[in-house]
Chains A and B, each alone.
Chain A
């Protein structure tokens, strides 16, 4: 198993706070698959800057409210 990237995120927390939004619905909203949302939540994949902004915009927060650097 490769070391996960030193980037944490609150995607799952924000999703649950938004009426327990499904991973598929969030994926559809930002243009990625459900599996990519799962990978982001599990820290297995760091999204592109564009997707990071899309996620933040979707939840109505700033990018740094969603993603944090742990390096």
Chain B
């Protein structure tokens, strides 16, 4: 708890947003289930819309709660260390996204399965977001 109290607003925000992303990814893929990955399966449009709505709502709740508990810091722009940490994390996320994207495209070339391509790219985007948030938080905690 002491570490949490001493953390900056952006570090707390990054940890919580990463946790939200993981929770929402688990919820989404749990909801669409393994059937959605089968060839010819319909795209889960309802689950996608629900995912977007819940993620946006959850993000707003997290940010408002953090802003209320860190009033002094919440409105300040990111400083050079915070910007650098985010830039590192975004670069890592780019590598993750590239690996997933290339793997998904290779799978598509071999199997011509657009459903798996769609889910793989969506999962890749979620993974990249998690890497951005938790990568930023980890760098701010550990130093770089």
Contacts and interface: CB of A to CB of B under 8 A. Distances in A.
Chain B interface size band reads 10 to 19
A8 interface: no
A9 to B, nearest CB: 13
A48 B143 CA distance: 14
A39 B143 contact: yes
B35 to A, nearest CB: 44
Q: Which of B7, B11, B73, B79 has the most CB of A within 10 A?
A: B79
A22 interface: no
A32 B143 contact: no
Interface string B105-144: 0000000000000000000000000000000000010111
Nearest first, the 3 A-B pairs at minimum CB distance are: A44-B143, A35-B8, A32-B79
